[in-house]
Chain A
Amino acid sequence: MDFSAISPVSLIVSLMIASTPILLAAIGELVVEKSGVLNLGVEGMMIFGAISGFIAAVTSGSPLIGFIGGAAGGALLSVLFIILTQYLMANQVASGLGLTMMGLGLSALLGYSYAGIKPPASAHLDIAGLSDLPVVGPILFSHDIMIYFSIALVAGVWYFLNRTKAGLILRAVGENHDAAHALGYKVIRVRLLAILFGGACAGLGGAYLSLIRVPQWTEGMTTGAGWIALAIVVFGSWKPWRVLIGAYLFGGVTILQLNLQAVGVNIGAAYLSMTPYIITIIVLVVMSADKKRASINAPAMLGRLFHASK
């Protein structure tokens, strides 16, 4: 085996591509959960975003419109979740699972005639001089625009939650909706916006998958990425930068094990294949071992229904 055959630079580039769909979905779900709502429909919104983004991109010929379409698709599906959980007071876990199943089915139906079509290529950043630099160039200055957008989004979410009044209100709603309501904040409206944002992010993640990472539409192509995103939110203890680390770690281990196999490392492919999931489980166990810290980080109202009359 020859470890030097693995180029760390290209490894980092591919891990960012592999991680971005999960990162986008996870950062959206983080905001949703911070507002006290547990939406298990991430997988459904992702796959729906993947097909609606794909259709938008193919029809318009523009990847940008494709991503807008993906975000719109994810948000559209989350409207259903809003109606069910915020107005009809349905159970959030059941509604979220329903959303996933519906998203998978609906996307298969919509995408039926779109299999085998090539989406328009997305522009890559290309700054004269910078993108050609050795090592730094490929890692920092030569990605597709969405990777920069996803990192900016993480920064934006961090700033919003920790440095703005609106972010404080959102967190207050998530920690104690009755108190927030008593103070005159519109609990349902805050959650509605958070869920829409989460849906848009999941849709964006799906569109990234169908427009850049694979570029094609195949039925059921998210294959559980939405569930990983949900785990990454807990993994990152509801903190935006930790979610970024979690997503890159998961993507990184996935990519690393494929590369290790390609150079012929004899650890046993089965074990290598398991590693991303094992590491996720280990971190989740370590995190939840400290009950006090876990309960401080988790939004207190997570998954609880709110009704103003109570």
Chain B
Amino acid sequence: MNLIKSLLAGAALAVGLAGAATAGEKTKVGFIYIGPTGDFGWTYQHDQGRKAIEAAFGDKVETKFVEGVPESADSERVMTQMALSGTDIIFATSFNYMDHVLNVAKKFPNVKFEHATGYKRADNVSTYSARFYEGRTVIGHIAGKMTKTNTIGYIASYPIPEVVRGINASYLAAKAVNPDVKMKIVWVYTWFDPGKEADAANALIEQGADVIMQHTDSPAAMTIAEEKGIMAFGQASNMSQFGPNAQMTAIIDNWGPYYVERVKAVMDGTWSSTDTWNGIGKGMVGIAPFSDKIPADVQASAGAIRDALAAGTMHSFTGPINKQDGSVWLKDGEVADDGTLAGMNFYVEGIEAELPK
């Protein structure tokens, strides 16, 4: 269904852009989204970033977006439509758009592309991502301190490095303060399916989890956590309205400043292909206010971790850390390099499940 929807949307967009092309020298900015802008998670936050561009440049820009674009050849069609209709810069905001972005970018060397969370670049393709794992370290710490059943439930989407990194970071932080902690991981193989996300949350609660973390896009798990009276962490966006009691804090994706900066670069003609990976320090990852359900001492220690990560005096992956098979990954005091983090495809020692291939 998404296919037809996005094709129609693409067509409508082409008509809209073609009509506007004569209107003046506006910088045209296009976005393709994996989910709906109303998901109150991942896509919602990207759309907030789009609105930040409009707020910053007003009449000088024109932004367009197509939502619910599948990570398939459909995304190439949508991006091609955008490029054909005079879009100056296109933000593709999901990991598996990667190869499609490069394909389209090859055909339109004058159009700038920005691909979120990917690692393949070209002269006109930049990549950008946020160090969400820093946020995971903070919530892992809180979860480790707060869990009564010593079981953290984790709803994972796809086994890609970004998700694996998040699991490892939160597990390490929880383990550091609670040696008995266990992590139960359920892969749902979707970014957005509220029904399935809710089912996964229920299954994890059934297995004894009293804290739920998620790497999916909807607030369904937060709603279930609220209903069942357990703890959860907002993902991508502040989800406290869905779980006023359940949400301990949230990892907030703050794309606005980066988007404004990149569009500015296009306007000034200074845009070049870059790789950006910012964390709490640069404000790309935000931590929502702590719930008052968290005891004061835990709030203080979690806050200290957040600040140390921001200041760069602490790193989420600092040795000694072994891989799941027991082999040494980082020696004592050694800090993970970005290359390994970007391609992380292994669990750290202590996680019992097997990583899907």
Contacts and interface: CB of A to CB of B under 8 A. Distances in A.
Interface in A1-15: 5-7, 10, 14
B194 A223 contact: yes
Interface in A78-101: 97, 100-101
B285 to A, nearest CB: 22
Contact of B195 (A97, A101, A104, A221): A221
For A118, A214, A224, A268, the residue with the greatest tally of chain B CB atoms inside 10 Å of its CB is A214
B68 interface: yes
B223 A216 contact: yes
B357 to A, nearest CB: 8
B195 A223 contact: yes
Contacts, number: 130
Contacts of B37: 219
A216 B221 CA distance: 11
A264 interface: yes
B189 A262 contact: no
Interface in B1-44: 1, 4-5, 8, 35-40
Interface in A27-66: 43
A216 B242 contact: yes
A270 B196 CA distance: 14
B68 A218 contact: no
B202 interface: yes
Contacts of A213: 195, 198
Given A14-B199, A116-B242, A223 B193 contact: yes
Contact of B206 (A101, A104, A262): A262
A115 B40 CA distance: 8
B352 interface: yes
Interface in B151-172: 153, 159
A220 B68 contact: yes
Interface bracket on B: 35 or more
29 contacts: A14-B203, A108-B36, A116-B242, A118-B226, A118-B242, A213-B198, A214-B194, A214-B224, A215-B223, A216-B219, A218-B38, A218-B39, A218-B219, A218-B220, A219-B38, A221-B194, A255-B199, A255-B203, A259-B207, A261-B186, A261-B353, A262-B184, A264-B353, A264-B354, A266-B353, A269-B186, A269-B189, A270-B189, A273-B188
Interface of B: 1, 4-5, 8, 35-40, 68, 153, 159, 184-190, 192-196, 198-200, 202-204, 206-209, 218-220, 223-224, 226-227, 241-242, 352-354, 356-357
Closest 10 CB pairs of A and B: A219-B36, A219-B38, A269-B187, A258-B203, A116-B241, A262-B207, A273-B189, A221-B194, A269-B356, A223-B193
Given A213-B195, A218-B194, A219-B36, 16 more contacts: A5-B207, A14-B202, A21-B195, A101-B1, A101-B4, A116-B40, A116-B242, A214-B198, A219-B39, A220-B68, A262-B207, A264-B352, A264-B353, A264-B354, A266-B353, A270-B187
